[in-house]
Amino acid sequence: MIKLTKFNSQTNKKGEFVLNAEIIETIEETPDTVVTLTNGKKFIVEEPMDEIVRRVMKYRRALHQF
């Protein structure tokens, strides 16, 4: 699980949420960062693509330590 910050450009409301990193299908910058899940759901988040990749890698490394 990784923590991300939602971005809603219409109301400028932000909110943190936790996402299961195992269901991320794609991450793209358009210029906002869009995370697409395996079920087709999309999230626009504040974090840049490189930061999300770093968090997913950290999460997966932590899983293999046990």
In angstroms, the Cα distances linking 61 to 49, 55, 56 are 18, 10, 9
pLDDT digits (tens, 9 = 90+) for 4-32: 999 875 555 668 999 999 999 999 999 99
Domains within the chain, CATH numbers bracketed: 2-64 (2.40.50)
What pLDDT does 7 receive? Answer: 86
Torsion over CA of 3, 45, 28 and 36, rounded to 10 degrees? 70
The pTM of this model reads: 0.86
What pLDDT does 9 receive? Answer: 54
DSSP per residue over 8-66, as a string? ETTTTEEEEEEE-GGGEEEEEESSSEEEEETTS-EEEESS-HHHHHHHHHHHHHHHHT-
